[in-house]
Amino acid sequence: MDSPAWHLVQVLATLVGPDGHTPAIEGFAEKARPLTAAEKAMIREGRTATE
């Protein structure tokens, strides 16, 4: 079935590599800063910065 939502899913899928995690846009994450120890701990614990 042709639907706008399905087209959006297909477009979004082109933004990452075959592994589903690596950005397909060259240089996309070059200026991203590394996570801090506190941010990594929040991710491990499943918390947000406002909790």
Specify the pLDDT at position 33: 94
Determine the residue type at 6.
W
Specify the pLDDT at position 49: 66
Specify the pLDDT at position 51: 62
In this prediction the pTM is: 0.47
Using 50, 70 and 90 to split pLDDT, how confident is the model at 37?
A: very high
Q: Which residue has the higher pLDDT, 19 or 47?
A: 19
Number of domains composing the chain: 1
Which residue range(s) make up the domain with 33? 4-45
Cβ(15)–Cβ(25) under 8 Å?
Answer: yes
Of 26, 25, 47, nearest to 38 (Cα)?
A: 47
The answer as to whether 11 is a domain residue is: yes
Read off the pLDDT of each residue in 13-36 and give the average, rounded to a whole number. Answer: 91
The answer as to whether 34 is a domain residue is: yes
Q: How far is CA 50 from CA 19, 41, 42, 46, 47, in A?
A: 31, 14, 10, 12, 8
The answer as to whether 51 is a domain residue is: no
